[in-house]
Amino acid sequence: MESGVSDIAHIGHAELLTPDPGSSLAFFTDVLGMVEVARDEGSVHLRGYGDYQRCSLKLTAADHAGLGHLGLRTRSPAALERLVARLQAAGRGAGWIDGDLGHGPAFQATTPGGHSLEVYFETERYDAPAEERSALRNQFGARGGPGAGVKRIDHVNLMSTDVAADRAFAEQVLGYRTLDISVDGDGRETGAWTSATIAPLELVFVLDPTGRDGRLHHLAFWVDTREEVLRAADIFVDHAVAIELAPARHTIGSGFFLYGFEPGGNRVEVTTAVDFVYDPDPPLRTWTAAERAAGIGWGTAFPETWRSYGTPA
């Protein structure tokens, strides 16, 4: 693959596991403002007002929180074929499924760090019912429902016990490019920020100090303005959602953020205002532990939970 061109178009959807499905659903609808589009045994399918696909979040009842799987949509049917071949060659493929609500045949695979993937191309574009339709016909849904009104799924941050291995997989098999890494005093990678587009980060790996495979750090949802992140914080407070990190600015990627925990225990981010990277071959930036410890953006220090908490907890 040539630099900067991935067979993957974008993160298509994520399945989130929750031991408290009723409260989690209330969070994603009333607080984040997503819309329920369907439910089947054990799962509810949700979308942001700006998702072009029918759904982007599958909320599944389980005995613990965590990431069920991550769905990646390819650029084309041919890109899907190429990707499946690479997954199989890498010994990471699991096999095909017929599809799921909202998308067609998908090939299942596993990352080195034990996260489940589904790669697919065929998808169902959303046809909003009348009461949910925007007056502008290039909008996928109306604005103005309750809650923060997130637009779409944005990125995912996976905990990893071997960041370098997960990053190599993301680059060589999935075709992501890496824009930033962080390292500890011994030069070991503690974080990798990769992307398949001009967005500065889409698939992120951070070191899991507990040594457990397959944990989720957080799932992030996009809003269009920093004001909407501030408003989301007001709404989090008024809905008794636990805020882990109040709105501020990242250094890596420059994203403006709000972090909290949904009732099932998964960490969720509301984000916007990243620096898009039009440069096709930017120099890899390496961040030292000292730089990361010195605080981000405007000096914000990460809380202790940031380094160690993931789901399953």
Q: Are 268 and 18 in contact (CB under 8 A)?
A: no
What Rg value do the Cα atoms of the chain yield, rounded? 18
Instruction: Give the start-end residues of each E strand in the chain.
Output: 8-18, 35-40, 43-47, 57-61, 66-74, 93-97, 106-110, 116-120, 152-160, 177-183, 189-195, 203-207, 216-222, 242-249, 256-261, 267-272, 285-287
How far is Cα 216 from Cα 200, in angstroms, rounded to an integer?
20
How far is Cα 40 from Cα 25, in angstroms, rounded to an integer?
14
Q: Which residues contact 144 (CB under 8 A, 6 or more apart)?
A: none
- Residue nearer to its own copies on the CB measure, 184 or 279: 279
- Residue nearer to its own copies on the CB measure, 2 or 41: 2
Least distance (Å) between residue 106 CB and its own copies: 16
Q: Which of 90, 94, 168, 246 binds its own copies (CB under 8 A)?
A: 246
Q: Does 304 bind its own copies (CB under 8 A)?
A: no
Q: Which of 95, 98, 138, 211 binds its own copies (CB under 8 A)?
A: 138
Least distance (Å) between residue 192 CB and its own copies: 15
Residue with tokens 């120099």: 283
Q: Which positions from 184 through 213 interact with its own copies, judged by CB under 8 A?
A: 197-199
Mask for 55-74, x = binds its own copies (CB under 8 A):
------------------xx
Q: Which of 41, 63, 98, 135 binds its own copies (CB under 8 A)?
A: 135
Q: Which of 14, 16, 25, 31 binds its own copies (CB under 8 A)?
A: 31
How far is Cα 168 from Cα 182, in angstroms, rounded to an integer?
15
- Residue nearer to its own copies on the CB measure, 88 or 254: 254
Q: Which positions from 222 through 241 interact with its own copies, judged by CB under 8 A?
A: 224-228, 230-231, 233-240
Least distance (Å) between residue 6 CB and its own copies: 9
Give phi and psi for 120, each to the nearest 5: -155, 165
How far is Cα 9 from Cα 7, in angstroms, rounded to an integer?
6
Q: Which of 66, 147, 264, 310 binds its own copies (CB under 8 A)?
A: 147
Helix (H, G, I), strand (E, B) or coil at 15: strand
Least distance (Å) between residue 153 CB and its own copies: 10
Q: Which of 273, 302, 306, 312 binds its own copies (CB under 8 A)?
A: 273
- Residue nearer to its own copies on the CB measure, 110 or 261: 261
Give, in degrees to the nearest 5, the angle at Cα 154 between 278 and 156: 105
Q: Which residues contact 153 (CB under 8 A, 6 or more apart)?
A: 11, 13, 14, 48, 51, 56, 57, 219, 220, 221, 222
Q: Does 284 bind its own copies (CB under 8 A)?
A: no
- Residue nearer to its own copies on the CB measure, 62 or 204: 204
Q: Which of 46, 55, 72, 79 binds its own copies (CB under 8 A)?
A: 79
Q: Which positions from 86 through 125 interact with its own copies, judged by CB under 8 A?
A: 125
Least distance (Å) between residue 76 CB and its own copies: 6
Q: Which of 234, 218, 222 is nearest to 273 (CA)?
A: 222
